Structure 1
Amino acid sequence: MADPRVIGTEAVEDARRRGRIVFELLPGDIVTALARETAERLGVTLVDGPLERQQPQRTDAAISMQRVLYRRSPKWVAPVRTKRKARRLGKLALIGAGGVGGNIAHLAAMQDIADEIALIDIVPGMAAATALDLNHTTGITGARARCIGGESLDLVTGAEVVVVTAGLARRPGMSRADLIDVNARVIRQAAEAIRSAAPNAIVIVVTNPLDEMTFEMLRATAFPRERVLGMAGTLDSSRFRNALAVAAGVCPADVEAFTLGSHGDEMAPISSRAKIKGRALDVFLSSDQIDACVQDAVTGGGQVVSLKKSGSATIAPAHASIELIDHIRGARTGPVPVSVMLQGEYGIDGVVLGVAAHLGSTGLIEVEELRLTDQEQAALHEAADAIRSRLGL
């Protein structure tokens, strides 16, 4: 027969630390007087056991099979994601009030993301006009956010999150890499203002070429890597999911897929981990169809540029930026693809690259290293080498 347990004050305190308010005493247990006093003081109830356990719910095998088959049928609809209680930002600043910046401001105001939204643009009157236009909508929408706009970078003062979209946009025939020299000057100017006027801000870079400009922002602000992020994989992943959904004839909500690597020709859509209705891609699509979807994700931005003739995508990048902000303020959880400075993850160091990561109120929490195929792992290293080469590292 086993020796009786002696329940002391340590056991009661440990139970309370674990969030338990009921402590079960088994037959033969010896409870010290000090343990009883501690339990009373901490609000822990000592209950004689054994307590009756709730029996696990058992499901008939036939019903379980019906549920599995229904989920695989075209009639199955993905459950609606419930929004978490999120922190409201005090101030959101947008450097660049063009197509992307203006759309971010509109979405942020409609979703009640911040008390104040500051728009900044070098074009006289553009930021102020957009801010006034958004304020005029509040009589209809009831949005609480107040928008301000101007040409001075001093408007970033006190911002918790700064999104940088300013810079020369692509034209047909241009690659993102063609913009490095001109947009690096824009980034350095913005970085100087952020470092002095919003020293505790989290910075999200949208300016192209995105990974290179995120690296430049990190270097110019001297902020820790946790507070300088690049919006890339969020947009590329959305394009990949859209292509897979169209090819399979399903709702995009039924598709789970990530795109990592660079925001350019070296991006790496991760087909091995992508799923449609919880199943591998090859259940729904042929290898040629999957390859076509990968190519569609890689060239998605170029397709928009080609159609517009002047300028690049504005709506999808704005939604992708809001997704990152939602992760920062706690409206969303889980891994999200984002460009960050790598410090040994995936065997890569000293370069900004798109990876799956967890974000929070302080920015980057941790990089989640996904299990990749050898080919996908090689693609990440090729992307890192290409970015180093373009930056002359």
Structure 2
Amino acid sequence: MTKRKVGIIGAGAVGATAAYSLSMMGVCGEIVLFDIAEGVAKGKAIDIGQSVHYAPVSTIVTAAESPADVNDCDIVVITAGVPRKGDMTREDLLMINAKIMKSVVEDVMKYSPDAVIICVSNPLDVMSYVIHRMTGWERNRIIGMAGALDGARMAYQIYNKLGYGAGQTGTLVIGDHGQHMIPLPHKVQVGSVNTLELLSKEEMEEIIERTRNGGAEIVKHLGTSGYYAPGRAIAYMVEAILNDSKVVVASSVLLEGEYGYSDVSVGVPVVLGKHGAEKIIEIELDDATREKFKTSVESIREGIDILKANKFFD
């Protein structure tokens, strides 16, 4: 990858924070923002572009006037979509966001046909699956950003409980990006010490619950979803792909027999490198975790089935 160009579709708080994080890290040469709300991408591109003066490496930050300007990207991050409002049913939200995704993906296929897509739009696992169905691309090129964020939230809760080990906590959260996410405490270490040696079962249960409700807790205080942690998680994944880092991070990817499932996108540990999700790591799940994973997959399939029932894929 020579250009190292990243397109971000949806310049709201999450997309703009991802752009800002990337520009401060200096990992790509160019970032292009696009948003359907007039002026939003332009204003944020100017603001971020001015901040780059103090970054270690200069990054060009521009705003796309139209989807055609998000072209020849190595990676396209999609955060576009609407949040659930008032009396909106799950079905309403799914159909609205799936239609937005369809329009966005058609443009990506046309103008950045060789890109890796990172999906951030919710409901994340279902939207990642929609992208697979729309593009027909190799599955390694479509990755849902979930575990990178949920893992960071879990590490934060572990530090709050322990009071040490910040930045040394490896975490693993699999399953869907929602109420059925599955933090795996027995796979978590602080430094080289397993957290089961450091925390009681009760403390770990509390950490898991707080991780699961990490987004809702922020909404309670802010009145809106968090964006710094999601934005930084996106930037971490983009950096891993551009630098061919071969890091292991849980992401929503299409399964083809792994973990006993096919034709569904769900969060599992993957190796991120220049080709996207280069390898799916199958870890051994105990009976209880396997049941939780099944529940998680079924909740994602319910969303996919709603789209199928509404003839979305026809």
Using the size of structure 2 for normalisation, the TM-score is: 0.91
Deviation of 1:195 (Å): 0.7
The unaligned stretches of length 5 or more in structure 1 are: 1-86
Q: Distance in 2 between matches of 1:231 and 1:89?
A: 23
Matches within 5 A, 1:147-162: 147-162=61-76
Check whether the contact 1:88–1:112 (CA below 8 A) recurs between aligned residues: no
Deviation of 1:313 (Å): 1.4
Name the structure 2 match of 1:197.
111
Residue 270 of structure 1 aligns with an amino acid whose one-letter code is L
Deviation of 1:205 (Å): 0.4
Deviation of 1:253 (Å): 2.2
Q: Distance in 2 between matches of 1:216 and 1:367?
A: 20
Q: Distance in 1 between matches of 2:90 and 2:166?
A: 27
RCO (CA 8 Å, sep 6+): is it higher in 1 or 2?
Answer: 2
Residue 256 of structure 2 aligns with an amino acid whose one-letter code is Q
Check whether the contact 1:88–1:329 (CA below 8 A) recurs between aligned residues: no
2:151 paired with 1:237: yes
Check whether the contact 2:11–2:40 (CA below 8 A) recurs between aligned residues: yes
Moved more, 121-130 or 367-376: 367-376
Identity of matched residues, %? 29
Check whether the contact 1:353–1:384 (CA below 8 A) recurs between aligned residues: yes
Deviation of 1:187 (Å): 0.6
Structure 1 residues 208, 91: closer, same or farther in 2, change over 3 A?
same
Residue 328 of structure 1 aligns with an amino acid whose one-letter code is I
Name the structure 2 match of 1:114.
28
Matches within 5 A, 1:40-189: 89-141=3-55, 143-170=57-84, 179-189=93-103
Structure 1 residues 381, 324: closer, same or farther in 2, change over 3 A?
same
Name the structure 1 match of 2:134.
220
Q: Distance in 1 between matches of 2:207 and 2:89?
A: 20
Structure 1 residues 361, 277: closer, same or farther in 2, change over 3 A?
closer
Matches within 5 A, 1:301-312: 301-309=215-223, 311-312=224-225
Flag the structure with larger Rg.
1
Check whether the contact 1:88–1:113 (CA below 8 A) recurs between aligned residues: no
Q: Distance in 2 between matches of 1:190 and 1:216?
A: 11
Check whether the contact 2:9–2:35 (CA below 8 A) recurs between aligned residues: yes
Name the structure 1 match of 2:312.
none
Q: Distance in 2 between matches of 1:153 and 1:276?
A: 44
Residue 215 of structure 1 aligns with an amino acid whose one-letter code is Y
Q: Distance in 1 between matches of 2:65 and 2:15?
A: 14
Check whether the contact 1:226–1:365 (CA below 8 A) recurs between aligned residues: yes
Deviations, residues 353-379 of structure 1 (Å, cap 9, x unaligned): 000001211112110112222211221
Moved more, 192-201 or 125-134: 125-134
Q: Distance in 1 between matches of 2:85 and 2:198?
A: 36
Check whether the contact 1:122–1:151 (CA below 8 A) recurs between aligned residues: no
Deviation of 1:231 (Å): 0.2
2:261 paired with 1:348: yes
Residue 352 of structure 1 aligns with an amino acid whose one-letter code is S
Q: Distance in 2 between matches of 1:331 and 1:250?
A: 31
Deviation of 1:305 (Å): 2.0
Name the structure 2 match of 1:337.
250
Moved more, 362-371 or 330-339: 330-339
Q: Distance in 1 between matches of 2:90 and 2:22?
A: 27
Q: Distance in 2 between matches of 1:138 and 1:254?
A: 29
Deviation of 1:174 (Å): 8.4
Residue 294 of structure 2 aligns with an amino acid whose one-letter code is H
2:223 paired with 1:317: no
Check whether the contact 2:7–2:33 (CA below 8 A) recurs between aligned residues: yes
Moved more, 341-350 or 138-147: 138-147
Q: Secondary structure at the match of 2:164?
A: coil
Residue 231 of structure 2 aligns with an amino acid whose one-letter code is A
Check whether the contact 1:217–1:228 (CA below 8 A) recurs between aligned residues: yes
The unaligned stretches of length 5 or more in structure 2 are: 309-314
Q: Distance in 1 between matches of 2:24 and 2:136?
A: 33
Deviation of 1:197 (Å): 0.7
2:124 paired with 1:210: yes
Give the aligned CA root-mean-square deviation in angstroms.
Answer: 2.1
Deviations, residues 297-336 of structure 1 (Å, cap 9, x unaligned): 1111111122222x31111001111111122123633311
Q: Distance in 1 between matches of 2:237 and 2:6?
A: 13
Q: Which of residues 357, 374, 377 in structure 1 aligns to 2:287?
A: 374
Structure 1 residues 176, 161: closer, same or farther in 2, change over 3 A?
farther
Q: Distance in 1 between matches of 2:87 and 2:226?
A: 15
Structure 1 residues 366, 305: closer, same or farther in 2, change over 3 A?
same
Name the structure 1 match of 2:302.
389
Q: Distance in 1 between matches of 2:56 and 2:163?
A: 38
Check whether the contact 1:255–1:275 (CA below 8 A) recurs between aligned residues: yes
Runs of 4+ in 1 over 4 A off after TM superposition: 170-178
Check whether the contact 2:26–2:55 (CA below 8 A) recurs between aligned residues: no
Name the structure 2 match of 1:287.
201
